[in-house]
Structure formats: structure tokens, C-alpha cells
Amino acid sequence: MAKTDSPVPLSVVILAAGQGKRMKSDLPKVLQPVAGRPLLKHVIDAARALGPSATYVVYGHGGDRVREALNQEPVSWVLQAERLGTGHAVMQAAPTIPDDHVVLVLYGDVPLISHATLAELLTLCGPKKVGLLTMVVADPTGYGRVVRKGRDQVQKVVEQKDASKKELQIQECNTGVLAAPAKLLKKWLKQLKNTNSQGEYYLTDVIALAVKDKATVNPLVAPNNVEVLGVNDKAQLAEVEAAYRRRVAHELMLAGVTVADPARLDVRGSVTHGVDVFLDINVVLEGDVKLGSRVRVGPNCVIRNCEIGDDTEVFAHCVLDSSVIGANCIIGPFARTRPTSKLANGVHIGNFVEVKNAQMGNESKANHLAYVGDATVGERVNIGAGTIIANYDGANKHRTIIENDVHTGSNSVLVAPITVGAGATIAAGSTVIKEVPPAKLTVARARQVTVDDWTRPVKTKK
């Protein structure tokens, strides 16, 4: 875990009480997903990377759902029963923060802020110093303006509704993110007033109070405005999602991964990889994905919580879920693996083949239209087209064991639980319901009969 170099203990306060009416959704705003994770989860992860002594999440609207969704996170939950502004929100957490801490204020709807930016901001905070993260935008409409005296000294932050005509021309805007000494911040919070157009206690008014108290306000202009994008509606949510995609694709390409089209790669988790990996268009990587060297993933594939070995190729339109796939495998097109499946080296599964809770040994194949469920398959097994393992009796799942070098003919059904002995061959069209002896041909189908005097039924004319 990356941490800051500051010896001063750090407390992070994340403001996450907003209702998010503009989302027009029953889901609380901070639970809206970006890259498969709630907005708030991204911010909690950014805070945790700094190594704080404590992280406080100030919640309000939909609070029970927010806490339930993120109940495994190592944070302290603080209720803001009345939403009286950002300053009021920080007041709710302030009493539990020790005076000798630095307080970093973040926002639950600003998910892309980077560790590097936050670490730099914290270096600007000291005993009588406040670090303030700002941004410069071409159109500052809607943002609070950062008012400086000269080029460097910040005097105050003015919300747009309270700004003068001259102040409205300022293009440097407040992001709301700041770092301040806890003891002084508590003092300034107590001095906040709600005599403004909104009737709220603005955290931004702390800046003017700090200047009045002869504390230095050190601004840091965000290196990339994408980092400080907030999310208030579904259009902004999509904008942040696209920015996240660009960032992750760029990082993968710099690390040596070939991405056919960065705009059409979705990474919704973490990816580790070897050398010369290729990702085609519309690939979705979810959860924890590990790709070996020279892995190739074809278009329109979804890979979730999987490990894929060296030199394996995944052809188009595959869905791989919570599976371990060995080296030199060929998967797809149109193949599916379901959780706890494990394919050894050199395995082939092809068109419309599904593997579920099964293990397939080295160089085994199921190339066409097969279902391999709840099975242990040995090495060099050939599962013929249309073969299915009937693993479910209507109440319970049963396991099938297929030993090495077995061949199953097309359209055969293996009714679990059974064992198919090594080297056995099952004839096409067989329905096998009991143990199959090794090294023999087993035929289990009705004898073909032709009925000479049969007549096909004919519909009666009305």
C-alpha cells in the first residue's frame, strides 16, 4: 500500500450524503457504478492508498443502502441527519478527529482523483498551512471561484450564486478537496455562518477564515481536470466512465499490452499480465484478471475473475467466469466457462461449449455443442459434438469422472454419477447410465427399426 511521507497522522473525511436527484434513480448517487464499482468505493480506495489513521464517510440520503453495500470497507460511518451544506457535513465527523491530525476532505462522487495528486496536496499542508486543490476550466459556470491576491495568495472561495461580476470572470475553480490541520479546521468550522443564497454552511468559507487567521492557503492546480470530475447525472456518469476507460487502457498500453481500440476496452477491476498480450475490441475485464504472456483475447469477450496461462487464445464472443485456464489452450468462439472450472494445458473448448464446476486435463477437447458440468475429465479426452453430462436429478447435483483417453461419440448423454474408464469409447447417440469399462466400446441406444406400413398423420381440412 502506497502511503504519504508525512509523519503527521492523517484522517480522511469523505462527504457522501448527497441525494443526487438529477440521477433520476432509486439508487443513491454514491452507489452509482463506474467500472463496475460504486462511486464511493473508488474514493474509499483512493483514501486507503494514503495510509490514513482513520477514514470517515459522512452519509445521509439512502444511508442504510450505502452502508449495507459497503459494509466490508474499513471506514467509520457518520450520519448527517440534516443536509445543511458541506461545512455542516464535515462538522459531523470533526469531534472524533484528534487535534494533532491532518484532515483531508474528499467527495463520494469524485471517483477518479489520483494518489499522486492527493499525496502532493498533503505536502502543502502544515501547522498553519492549508492545501487547496483547484482546477482551471474554460467554462467555470456552476463552480465556486478561487479568488487570489496577486498570482499566488488565495484569499477566499466564492460560490457562483454569491460571486460579483468580476469574480465570475475567474476561471480557476474550487474542487472542494482540501487538507488542513485538524485543530485549526475545527476552529474555523465553528465560525461558519449560513448567511448566503443557499442558507447552508459552506466548507469553502473555511478558506477566508484561514486567511483571516493568518494561515497560508497553498493552492494546487489539478494536473488533469478529469481527476476532479464530479458526478451529478447519468451523462456525467458516462463521461467519468469513459475517462476511466481511457486511463486504464493507456496504462495497459504503456505496460506493453496491445489494445486494438482503447475506446472499446472496459476494465472493471484489476489486471495483471505478461508480455505481448493482445486485447481485441469490446473486451470486458471484470474483477481480478490475470493474463499470461502472449495471451490473445478476441472481440466481444467478457472475462471475469479468471487466470489465463501463457499462449492461450480466446476467440470471439466468449464468457469466462471465475475459472483457471492453463497454457496453450484454445477457447471459443462462443464458449463459456462458469465458476470453479479449471482447464489444464492444451485444452480446447469450442463453439457453444459450456464448462461448469469441472476440471479438464491436459490436451482434452470439447470442440462443439457440449455441456461439461460437475465433472472431472482426464487427459487427452475427446468429447464429441452434442455430448452432455446430465449432472442434475431435479434435486441434487452429481459428479462424473471421465478418465484419460476417453472418446465420446456425438449426441451422447452421460447421466451422473458415473465413471468412464480410461481409453473407453462411447458410441454416438448413446445414453450412458452406469459405469463404462475401460478400453472398450460401449453402445447404449435403441436398435434402429423401420416401420413399413406407417403413414404420417395428415391435418383434417376444415
Secondary structure (DSSP) of 20-42: -GGG-SSS-GGGSEETTEEHHHH
Tens digit of each residue's pLDDT (9 = 90 or more) over 95-124: 999 999 999 999 999 999 999 999 999 999
Active site residue 250: no
Q: What is the mean pLDDT of the chain?
A: 94
The pLDDT tens digits of the residues spanning 252-292 come to 999 999 999 999 999 999 999 999 999 999 999 999 999 99
Q: At what angle do helices 182-190 and 205-212 cross, to 10 degrees?
A: 110
Average pLDDT rounded to a whole number, residues 154-177: 92
| pLDDT per position as a tens digit, 39-83 | 999 999 999 999 999 999 999 877 889 999 999 999 999 999 888
Give the pLDDT confidence score for residue 1 in this predicted structure: 41
Output the DSSP codes for 154-180.
EEEEE-GGG--TTGGG--EEEEEEEEE
Instruction: For residue 273, give the nearest of 263, 264, 283 by alpha carbon.
Output: 283
pLDDT at position 3, please? 52
Residues 140-145: contacts with CB under 8 Å, at least 24 apart = 140/168, 140/170, 140/171, 140/172, 140/173, 143/173, 143/174, 144/173, 144/174, 144/176, 144/204, 145/170, 145/172, 145/173, 145/174
Q: Which three cell numbers stand for residue 420?
A: 468412464
Q: Which of these is catalytic: 61, 115, 368, 398?
A: 368
- Are 61 and 15 a contacting pair, CB within 8 Å? no
Name the 3-class secondary structure at 379: coil
Q: Does domain 234-442 have CATH number 3.40.309.10?
A: no
Report CA-CA distances (Å) from 445 to 430, 432, 452.
5, 9, 21
Query: For residue 5, is pLDDT > 60?
Result: no
CB 122 within 8 A of CB 103: no
What value, to the nearest 5°, has the Cα angle with vertex 291 and ends 328 and 256? 110
pLDDT at 4 over 60: no
In this predicted model, which residue has the larger pLDDT, 460 or 216?
216
What does the pLDDT read at residue 460?
A: 85
Q: What is the pLDDT of residue 149?
A: 82
Q: Residue 75 is placed in which grid cell?
A: 471506514
Residue with cell 448423454: 413
Which residue, 357, 353, 348, is CA-closest to 326?
348
- CATH number belonging to the domain at 10-228, selected among 3.90.105.10, 2.60.120.10, 3.90.550.10, 3.80.10.10: 3.90.550.10
User: pLDDT at position 6, please?
Assistant: 53
Q: What is the C-alpha R_g of the chain?
A: 31
Domain with CATH 3.90.550.10 in the chain: 10-228
Could you tell me what percent of the chain has a pLDDT over 90? 88
297-313 pLDDT, tens digit per residue, is 999 999 999 999 999 99
pLDDT tens digits, one per residue of 116-137: 999 999 999 999 999 999 999 9
Q: Mean per-residue pLDDT for 237-243? A: 95
Q: Is the pLDDT of residue 161 over 90?
A: no
Please, what's the b/e burial string for 47-56 (b: 16 or more CB within 10 A of its CB; e: otherwise)?
Answer: bbbbebebbb
Domain with CATH 2.160.10.10 in the chain: 234-442
2 has pLDDT over 50: no
Quick one: cell of 12? 480522511
